[in-house]
Amino acid sequence: MARGSMTLAEFEAQLPKLGRLTVNSVSIARAVLVDGLGPAEVGHQHGMTRQRVNGVLKRFDALVKQVPKNWQRVEVWLPPELAAQVEAMAEKARADYAGAESGSSGSPA
């Protein structure tokens, strides 16, 4: 997520999804995403590295997108036809996971 990429209202609308983040992590994400401060500056203010701030932003993004905790991000360059197949697989995985979560078992297969 890019710095200054959200309004305060957009950020606050995401708060219910952020239960796994600490108050400090939410504050860090807000400083970058809403206030437009750079990760290095925010890291200095919070006594952490720029890399650690970027880690907080990645966790924020995953929670906002409601990515299951054990899933991994994969980024590759593919020909268009293969990219379409991978996107279809990802959509099916999301649908299967959502269906498993709403079922009685409580956990995906």
DSSP, residue by residue, 27-63: HHHHHHHTT---HHHHHHHHTS-HHHHHHHHHHHHHH
3-class SS of residue 89: helix
Q: Residue for token digits 């996971």?
A: 97
In a domain, 1, yes or no: no
54: pLDDT strictly greater than 60: yes
Residues 78 and 35 in one domain: no
User: What is the pTM for the complete model shown?
Assistant: 0.71
Could you tell me which residue, 21 or 103, shows the higher pLDDT? 21
104: pLDDT strictly greater than 50: no
Residues 16 and 52 in one domain: yes
Sorted by sequence, the CB contacts under 8 Å of residue 59 that are 6+ apart come out as 20, 21, 25
Whole-angstrom CA distances from 25 to 38, 43, 69, 73, 106 are 15, 11, 17, 21, 28
Residue 98: pLDDT band (50, 70, 90) is: confident
What value does the mean pLDDT of the chain take?
A: 90
Residues 13 and 41 in one domain: yes
Residue 43: pLDDT band (50, 70, 90) is: very high
pLDDT number for residue 103: 67
Query: Into how many domains does the chain fold?
Result: 2
- What is the residue range of 98's domain? 70-109
Residues 56 and 80 in one domain: no
